[in-house]
Structure 1
């Protein structure tokens, strides 16, 4: 039997703490961009550019086009269901509670493991600067800091991320300035305008396409902003705008940055260490100053991304706990003082400690699986909710609620099944575990999972 009341962690419904509506459009956009940590484009450039045969800006453009279809679907669903939970809520209400649970379970991979990746990257960087200090000390201090910031509340987290985000855009600005100066002085391609980064007649199509799923994950920030629906002023209007702004701004950042990276160092096969290619390029065009700035900013970006992803993960767990899909006393609890899901935040901090022993490759494989799986089902949710349930089947309705989301679902579904074997095995194992938990929760599908009662009206 479905629960029809909204519970807090103590099992009561009246007078319980609620998420505070305090975020304007500006802060939501900053939050989404901070989650994306756009400067990770620099750290992944060396490996990605080899896979695309030097056409990394084109690959980012393709990924942006794919993500715009999915971003469109997100905007439609957040108007219908302006509540915390994002892809989980959308699929639960449009397709079925069972599918919603599995989507929510899978997308948790992205959010829960993202702080761990940030912690690991920061630990590696700090170890390089201070080799005498064990890496685990940096990781633990990092996790304690981001956990405290998230417990203090969403407004504190948003302002914290906004400050760090400006530094990330400062990195791109500085790099472009140094690149333009170098190109005008004959470095690299020796010109500001070239089709070299966009077109290569000898490109390997299979290799090129295999990089797109990795780049699609770079746009996950637009999913993150939907988890803030219950903490945003006028979410039906602000969240859809934020989704498109985050996607487009991030896409422009990636294309511009990768374009100049390619121009100033056309011979992408000559890097001494592809994983640190951006360091070689920074030293080449800007010397010690630019290199030091980019390294320092990378540390701050780790904080920014971890705070954003930790906030989103705690809200998804809260949405699942609130409707008793997960134990409500823990996952559905809000601190009366901070009005944040404290237990969830602490749990995510604990999981982030896996950076002490889990490899980066393993975590990234899980994240890619979760992102594309969720994107595919959000696109399908638009079709189920608007085209079939709401019967919006006019010519305009058919384009908006069938053709566009079907294109989005086809593209994300294609890249999902094209993931590497590690992603499919690890992600499949996590999905199987979720399926077994769902069987137990629903008594072998003899009953539905509990459903959420919305605070906002539906459209």
Structure 2
């Protein structure tokens, strides 16, 4: 008698669905979310920080694309580091990555509660946060197909809103004789570029969409083809949208000194910007669209982190119930519930605290994934360094090395408090690892792949490189 197949994630997503998922996770309107915070950090040069962030993220996205072709399974940076450098460092990478994944839904729920609260001041903002959290959990459990369709609608509506905003902002700037010049938003006002780099470090949270795409490798129709394409498309399209909105906003609404702005203005700078370029009627429209975008990003965030917890639970690194899949829906129900419980912290956190912590975890993961490419393709574990061509040395050596250096550069630019909290988080993860391995006397459980990894494969299906033979 044929044994029933165990439940597994369903392969239903193509390149377009994956890209829309990534853009929804990035929340194309997230530039409005951090508009005030990062303008204060950068002394009004948000656009310059976005430009630096886009450059860094393109190098890192290229590394993610290379790694997902080698390991097309759920787990993202956790999987890549584990397979490249071993289970111990892999666990710490996954643990650090969870920091930003757990905080991404929180920051969206926070914005959602704050913005809706401006229209219903008599209702506590935590009520709206709680309702959104419950709805996100329900959609997460229902399945990735429903999530994909909902995200598609949200992204299309958000993109339309961004285009309308850009037109109105350009019109406002043309009518303002004091508006900054076309290139002024890109150029810092002094020789001190540290504020720009600090801002770029915080803006790393805006690009987590391409990392989120990699967590859906086991739900893509053709993971080795569709996931890398979606990763690069998400980074390029998202980066261009962020730059466009930040540039239009900088020319339409400008303060002489952002350091003197009130905390209320910093938290609701997006709403102030809407009102300035569109008046009260359009502010309400933009509010609705922003709330929808926050809901979509929160939903995508919950989906992504639940897949990481599922992968780590399946491996036995975290409690095994997290690796449970619903037999009916094929979704990680226990992991989704755990993420929803943690997301309740959004009821007590502030917006800037969440933003800083997301960036800490994200940049740490980005740096490690860049190193993984070098290790995997040029210095494979258990084998001798391979003889690579000049093109392979460029693609799998120089490019990820530059990505690693730029990521570390942004990482050290974050403020000391972020490092203190992030350091404590890593120490807690290290403690869990020590306990799980009984003081490293037992091996860290290895990832159980859901599909075989061939000995040879095309590294770049778009025409770059040749098949590489991997040493075992």
Q: How far did 1:86 drift?
A: 0.5
Which residue does the alignment assign to 1:358? 349
Whether the 8 Å CA contact 2:314–2:323 is kept in 1: the answer is: yes
Deviations 1:231-286 (A, max 9, x none): 00111000000011000001100111111111112445376623333333322221
Which residue does the alignment assign to 2:281? 289
Which residue does the alignment assign to 1:8? none
Which residue does the alignment assign to 2:415? 420
Map 1:31-430 → 2, pairs under 5 A = 31-184=21-174, 186-187=175-176, 189=178, 194-202=182-190, 204-269=192-257, 273-328=265-320, 330-389=321-380, 391-430=386-425
**TM-score with structure 1 setting the length:** 0.92
Which residue does the alignment assign to 1:446? 441
Per the alignment, in what secondary structure is the counterpart of residue 118 of structure 1? Answer: helix
Q: How far did 1:14 drift?
A: 6.4
Per the alignment, in what secondary structure is the counterpart of residue 211 of structure 1? Answer: helix
Deviations 1:63-97 (A, max 9, x none): 11101111111011000000000000000001111
Whether the 8 Å CA contact 1:319–1:332 is kept in 2: the answer is: yes
Which residue does the alignment assign to 2:469? none
Change (3 A) 1:359 1:55: closer
Q: Give structure 1 stretches of 5+ with no counterpart.
A: 1-12
Change (3 A) 1:398 1:14: farther
Q: How far did 1:203 drift?
A: 5.1
Change (3 A) 1:431 1:309: same
Per the alignment, in what secondary structure is the counterpart of residue 108 of structure 2? Answer: helix
Equivalent residue in structure 2 for 1:456, among 448, 451, 469: 451
Query: What's the C-alpha RMSD, in Å, of the aligned pairs?
Result: 1.8
Change (3 A) 1:448 1:269: same
Distance 1:280 1:366 in 2: 25
Q: Give structure 2 stretches of 5+ with no counterpart.
A: 458-472
Which residue does the alignment assign to 2:468? none
- Shifted more, 304-313 versus 345-354: the winner is 345-354
Q: How far did 1:31 drift?
A: 0.5
Distance 2:230 2:319 in 1: 32
Q: How far did 1:209 drift?
A: 1.5
Change (3 A) 1:283 1:15: same
**TM-score with structure 2 setting the length:** 0.90
Whether the 8 Å CA contact 1:64–1:251 is kept in 2: the answer is: yes
Change (3 A) 1:77 1:321: same
Whether the 8 Å CA contact 2:33–2:111 is kept in 1: the answer is: no
- Shifted more, 332-341 versus 361-370: the winner is 361-370
Per the alignment, in what secondary structure is the counterpart of residue 340 of structure 1? Answer: coil
Change (3 A) 1:54 1:453: same
Per the alignment, in what secondary structure is the counterpart of residue 102 of structure 1? Answer: helix
Whether the 8 Å CA contact 1:262–1:268 is kept in 2: the answer is: no
